[in-house]
């Protein structure tokens, strides 16, 4: 049962083939395995989750499920508030002592729909980088090779889903943080259009930060989106109601879609040959399914420096009130970018916003010509655990090896990472699908077509 999708679990509950209690017990075994082998969990709430599963089992027996996810085990990244337990965000600066009385909006929607809240997954300190390790909780390994990184910053969630420790997880993405670990761990993840999933408390990284589903497939992600997109007045920047169920039209295919394929951002990014070949195969599958594919590049300069201004300033804001003792226990890399971020002026920040707006206009025009953009999610596969950058790469920051992800946080577009097979070492490859703002359903539909066709 731990290998079943959320949709398959719900079908089993409805038929009486098995119960939420049985499924939760199976998933708890996998969660403990994921905790021991790759450090995917900060906390596993076994007693609480079994109580929730028992209540869900009683509801299913009465034929009265509470919602769309009644009895489905779900994990939550330890960035998002979950009442009843601490949200430590990978930092020694946060005390475990409560009270912890609020749920983040997406977590509140999970409760309303009867989900079984299994536990909290690992994150780097405040989710600041593209790998998952922190001074407080250590490093999270890759399910395919624990000596390699799971990616980040939602690495615990990706590893949990990959190992069957719950078919659904909530992650956050400010520069690639659901897509990076999804690519490294061989699962699906969607960064929705900014504002589609309400956020509270507001991220210090501002409107770069999104909440999104991390799942085995696009169908489960569509189901989870139907739950977590519910409105919440605590988020002043949320969008209006979703235009309908994300499960409607999921199987409509890609025939007739105009797809731009950019293998390397116009030669700007050096992509591992195995990754390039895997992405090319997925593009060929989309063409075989009837999409009109053209090799085309969005042709924008690398916005990494403006992104750094926005990102590092946010990090400095997060840690602004830290004492010297707290700063001494911070991740050294985080401390470094906080010092840099504190040195930017308001004019520096506004200049970065100008670059962001120009990039958004450019991508808006690009999507008048193309429905989807396809790129690699990452230029390579998972590297050594405990490092911010691959050994010998000459890079200094995680943004050096994530050139395909952070631009679309700046533009607030929906973007997904779809499993695209493995390289010669057996490590997963991710394929990124990007659409215009508000076209989340289109990304899910194309991903579903690709996964169904085995692409």
Label residue 98 by pLDDT band (50, 70, 90): confident
Label residue 455 by pLDDT band (50, 70, 90): low
**Does residue 208 form part of some domain?**
yes
In this model, does residue 273 exceed pLDDT 90?
yes
Which of 228, 249, 266 lies at the terminal end of a domain, its last residue?
228
24 and 121 both lie in a single domain: yes
In this model, does residue 62 exceed pLDDT 90?
yes
Instruction: Find the helix or strand (DSSP H, E) in which 47 lies.
Output: helix 46-62
Domain extent for 137: 6-228
The percent of the chain in helix, strand and coil, each rounded to the nearest 5, is 40, 15, 45
| Mean pLDDT across 30-54 | 98
353 and 429 both lie in a single domain: yes
39 and 156 both lie in a single domain: yes
174 and 33 both lie in a single domain: yes
pTM: 0.98
In this model, does residue 56 exceed pLDDT 90?
yes
166-210 per-position pLDDT tens digit:
999 999 999 999 999 999 999 999 999 999 999 999 998 999 999
In this model, does residue 429 exceed pLDDT 90?
yes
In this model, does residue 387 exceed pLDDT 70?
yes
Q: What is the C-alpha to C-alpha distance for residues 182 and 150, in angstroms, rounded to an integer?
A: 8
| Mean pLDDT across 331-359 | 98
Active site residue 153: yes
Nearest to 27 by CA among 56, 5, 42: 5
**Does residue 270 form part of some domain?**
yes
**Does residue 248 form part of some domain?**
no
In this model, does residue 10 exceed pLDDT 90?
yes
131 and 169 both lie in a single domain: yes
Name the catalytic one among 177, 262, 282, 313. Answer: 177
Active site residue 169: no
276 and 133 both lie in a single domain: no
* Per-residue pLDDT, 190: 99
Our count of domains for the chain comes to 2
Residues 6+ apart with CB under 8 A from 447: 188, 190, 218, 221, 416, 418, 433
- Phi first, then psi: what are they for 23, rounded to 5°? -65, -40
| Mean pLDDT across 31-45 | 98
**Does residue 245 form part of some domain?**
no
In this model, does residue 454 exceed pLDDT 90?
no
Residues 6+ apart with CB under 8 A from 130: 151, 152, 153, 175, 176, 177, 180, 388, 398, 399, 401, 402
349 and 415 both lie in a single domain: yes
Which of 179, 206, 228 lies at the terminal end of a domain, its last residue?
228
Average pLDDT, the chain: 97
139 and 274 both lie in a single domain: no
Whether 156 contacts 150, CB under 8 Å: yes
Q: What is the C-alpha to C-alpha distance for residues 213 and 98, in angstroms, rounded to an integer?
A: 27
**Does residue 355 form part of some domain?**
yes
**Does residue 64 form part of some domain?**
yes
Name the catalytic one among 19, 91, 134, 153. Answer: 153
**Does residue 238 form part of some domain?**
no
**Cα 341 from chain centroid (whole Å):** 24
186 and 72 both lie in a single domain: yes
Active site residue 129: no
CATH number of the domain where residue 275 is located:
3.90.1300.10
Name the catalytic one among 77, 120, 129, 191. Answer: 77
Half-sphere exposure of 375 (CA within 13 A, CB side): 31
Q: What is the C-alpha to C-alpha distance for residues 85 and 9, in angstroms, rounded to an integer?
A: 27
221 and 265 both lie in a single domain: no
81 and 176 both lie in a single domain: yes
Residue 73, SS3? strand
Which of 228, 245, 272 lies at the terminal end of a domain, its last residue?
228
Q: What is the C-alpha to C-alpha distance for residues 36 and 125, in angstroms, rounded to an integer?
A: 20
| Mean pLDDT across 344-372 | 98
| Mean pLDDT across 259-279 | 98
**Does residue 415 form part of some domain?**
yes
160 and 292 both lie in a single domain: no
């Amino acid at each position: 049962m731990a290998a079943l999708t959320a949709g398959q679990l719900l079908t089993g509950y409805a038929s009486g083939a098995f119960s939420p209690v049985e499924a939760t017990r199976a998933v708890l075994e996998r969660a403990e395995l994921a905790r021991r082998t790759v450090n995917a969990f900060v906390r596993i709430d076994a007693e609480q989750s079994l109580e929730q599963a028992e209540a869900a089992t009683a509801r299913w027996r009465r034929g009265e499920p509470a919602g769309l996810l009644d009895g489905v085990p779900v994990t939550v990244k330890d960035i998002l508030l979950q009442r009843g337990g601490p949200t430590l965000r990978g930092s020694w600066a946060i005390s475990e002592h409560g009270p912890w009385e609020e749920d983040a909006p997406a977590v509140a929607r999970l409760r309303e729909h009867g989900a079984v809240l299994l536990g909290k997954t690992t994150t780097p300190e405040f989710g600041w980088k593209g790998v998952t390790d922190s001074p407080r909780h250590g490093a999270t390994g890759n399910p395919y090779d624990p000596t390699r990184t799971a990616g980040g910053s939602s690495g615990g969630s990706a590893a949990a889903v990959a190992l069957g420790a719950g078919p659904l997880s909530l992650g956050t993405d400010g520069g690639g943080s659901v897509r990076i670990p999804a690519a490294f761990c061989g699962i699906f993840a969607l960064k929705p259009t900014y504002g589609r999933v309400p956020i509270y408390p507001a991220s210090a990284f501002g409107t770069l930060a999104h909440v999104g589903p991390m799942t085995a497939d696009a169908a489960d992600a569509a189901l989870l989106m139907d739950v977590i997109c519910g409105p919440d007045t605590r988020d002043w920047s949320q969008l209006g109601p979703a235009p309908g169920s994300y499960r409607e039209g999921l199987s409509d295919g890609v025939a007739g879609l105009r797809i731009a394929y950019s293998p390397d951002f116009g030669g700007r990014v050096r992509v591992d040959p195995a990754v390039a070949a895997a992405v090319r195969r997925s593009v060929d599958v989309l063409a075989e399914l009837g999409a009109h594919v053209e090799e085309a590049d969005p042709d924008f300069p690398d916005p990494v420096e403006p992104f750094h201004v926005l990102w590092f300033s946010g990090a400095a804001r997060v840690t602004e009130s830290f004492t010297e003792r707290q700063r001494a226990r911070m991740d050294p890399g985080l401390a470094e970018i906080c010092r840099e971020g504190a040195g930017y002026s308001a004019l520096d920040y506004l200049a970065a916003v100008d670059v962001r707006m120009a990039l958004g206009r450019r991508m808006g025009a690009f999507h008048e010509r193309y429905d989807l953009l396809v790129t690699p999610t990452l230029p390579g596969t998972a590297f050594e655990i405990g490092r911010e950058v691959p050994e010998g790469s000459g890079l200094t920051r995680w943004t050096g090896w994530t050139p395909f992800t952070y631009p679309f946080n700046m533009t607030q577009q929906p973007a997904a990472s779809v499993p695209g097979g493995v390289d010669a070492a057996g490590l997963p490859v991710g394929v990124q699908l990007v659409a215009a703002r508000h076209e989340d359903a289109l990304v899910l539909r194309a991903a579903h077509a690709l996964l169904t066709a085995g692409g």
